[in-house]
Structure 1
Amino acid sequence: MGVQQNNISANHNSIFKLKRLYLQSVPAGSIAFDGLVPVGKVDWGFQDHLFNTILSKDATAYRPADAYTRRFLKFLIACLESNLAEDEELHDSILTLYSNLMSKPDSPSDATKPTFITYLLPPNQSLSQEDDEKDGEVQVVISERKSVLSADGHTGSRTWEAALALGEFFLFTPSPISKPIPQCRILELGAGTAFTSILLSKLGAKRVLATDGDERVCEAIRRNIDHNYCRNVVSASQLLWGGSQKDSTVYTEPWDLVIGGDITYDTRDLSDLVLTLKKLLVANQDTGAKAIISATVRNEDTLREFDTELSSAGLNFKVQDIGESGRQLWYYGSDTPIRIYTIHWG
């Protein structure tokens, strides 16, 4: 009985891992399918559970693009077929879905239009009562493009690796401030898709404001907020860094935490960014506010300039490099180093 229970548990964990990879649209060729199916023991029950958990219409409200699902199924079916138990056959629902997708023609616009990417959080991570989702799963649903630039020329249409690392930082690292997340008022700078803002709302944040310099990005953020049913906690607003919006109400509101993911890549923006950080942290110094900035290390000179700007502004900071252990939850697609800055005033 114990062996059977262990097998059921192992199969459930494997299917959950497959679901995590599938919903994030991880390139199918990068998925180790052989390590996620029972070697030589794939039976009807395993396939049925896999189909109902991952592939059926009821499995998720936001299925990845058809072209991706078709490629995912191509690799999955090949793996299932090579590991079928004796006298077992491939599940007809899986084969039917694959056949239907194969007969569906691709549209020329499919490669450029947004698609839904779903990031599953670890079990039992939600602190928000509104996130008691199906089977206890908590997820962040983002409409994004995988291209570097959108058709409008901005970079806010995809979730960058530094934002994923920032999300994992808040999931697995003790709070950098004295308050727990459910008591925090959080401001995100250069939010892009607002992945981290929405994630923090799932962790129970008291209030989150996702800001970006481009109003078109803010409109997309509002749609992502609606996809995640967190409008009562998260809102979006345009904010330009530096002195151009010195009268913005953002600077008069109380904040416990200021965050940003991959917002240090352009040296032309660093002085304005640091000016904004200083103004926010000085205004909220009585509550011990801190800024947590996640930076992809594309160019060491750029980050050295960021360090210099911080020091010149009188801001104190410490740096933590994120290694492989800090990338355990989601697929990043790149091993480019990522650095976390914890910044405070005084």
Structure 2
Amino acid sequence: MIDPDEDEINDQLVSSWGELISLPRRPSHIEAQEPAYIRYTAPSLLNKHPRPYVITYEKRFVISASGTTGFRTWEAALHLGTLLSTPAGKALIQGKNVLEIGCGVGFLAMYCLKCLDVQTITACDMEQGLIDSMNHCLDRNGLDPQRITGRLWDWSQPFSANAKQGEPTTFDVAIGADLIYDPDVIPLLLSAIQDLFKNHGIKQFVISATLRNRATFEMFLHGCGT
């Protein structure tokens, strides 16, 4: 409104608002399990970016669903995004082919492409539903689908890509957030990282982790040193 004393309220808007508030609400415990669009704003380091945000489609209040914890964005991914937004962090990935391990709903992969100027990014996870959630948001974030690829990857198997469809087979750097949470997964994670360094050109692996269990974290560090 420009002049509250002169401007009139739009009748159609009022009518629509009245219809919406009269609709019955579902129980809160059911609403909490439904996916929703979440908008994450980039750190102030990137305040000159024309659209400094990423939209995801996730179950923000669900810890685990369908046998995976990936249907929400965890703090470790946000911290890694902040690190990569610094000049030193951006230098690690800018203009490079990047692979993300355990991408979840794709916040970090989409953020790297949209705001941090990676050349391409391949986002991997074990659940097709998570890849679908990321792909669902590519258009909303204005992303070029030729530069971001969602890929199923079971860490018990070597990484593979479809070169005939233009998918990258070698990468400059790998990233991952909140991967160190279960001691049973550590051997598979270490095997996956070794495969990337040995067979897919990876020169650096940047990881962000929430320290939930020190023994599990030390198990990972010990495996990296052997």
Report the alpha carbon displacement of residue 149 of structure 1 after superposing the two structures with TM.
1.5
Match of 2:97 among 170, 178, 185: 185
Distance 1:167 1:250, change over 3 A: farther
Partner of 2:24: 105
Deviation digits for residues 252-272 of structure 1 (CA, Å, limit 9, x no counterpart):
812111011101101111111
Q: Is the 8 A contact 1:193 1:224 kept in 2?
A: no
Deviation digits for residues 293-342 of structure 1 (CA, Å, limit 9, x no counterpart):
11111111110001111111xxxxxxxxxxxxxxxxxxxxxxxxxxxxxx
Deviation digits for residues 73-112 of structure 1 (CA, Å, limit 9, x no counterpart):
xxxxxxxxxxxxxxxxxxx99xx7xx85654431234232
Report the alpha carbon displacement of residue 206 of structure 1 after superposing the two structures with TM.
0.4
Match of 2:118 among 180, 186, 205: 205
> 1:207, 1:190 → 2: CA distance?
17
> 1:124, 1:311 → 2: CA distance?
34
Report the alpha carbon displacement of residue 250 of structure 1 after superposing the two structures with TM.
7.9
Distance 1:180 1:267, change over 3 A: closer
Does 2:226 align with 1:226?
A: no
Matched pairs, number: 207
> 1:141, 1:111 → 2: CA distance?
18
Match of 1:292 among 200, 203, 206: 206
Match of 2:84 among 164, 170, 183: 170
- Long gaps (5+) in structure 2: none
> 1:269, 1:111 → 2: CA distance?
28
> 1:268, 1:174 → 2: CA distance?
33
Report the alpha carbon displacement of residue 249 of structure 1 after superposing the two structures with TM.
2.8
Report the alpha carbon displacement of residue 123 of structure 1 after superposing the two structures with TM.
6.0
Matches within 5 A, 1:1-346: 100=18, 103-108=22-27, 109-122=30-43, 125=46, 136-145=50-59, 146-150=61-65, 152-172=66-86, 174-175=88-89, 181-202=93-114, 203-230=116-143, 231-242=145-156, 244=157, 246=158, 248-249=160-161, 253-284=169-200, 289-312=203-226
SS of 2:64's partner is coil
Distance 1:236 1:122, change over 3 A: same
Once the two structures are aligned, what percentage of the paired residues are identical?
Answer: 26
User: Where is the helix percentage greater, Structure 1 or Structure 2?
Assistant: 1
Q: CA RMSD in A?
A: 3.1
Distance 1:214 1:311, change over 3 A: same
Distance 1:105 1:155, change over 3 A: same
Report the alpha carbon displacement of residue 229 of structure 1 after superposing the two structures with TM.
2.6
TM-score for the superposition, normalised by structure 2:
0.79
Letter aligned with residue 88 of structure 2: P
Q: Is the 8 A contact 1:123 1:137 kept in 2?
A: no
Rg larger for: 1
Higher relative contact order (CA 8 A, sep 6+): 2
> 1:293, 1:247 → 2: CA distance?
18
SS of 1:226's partner is coil
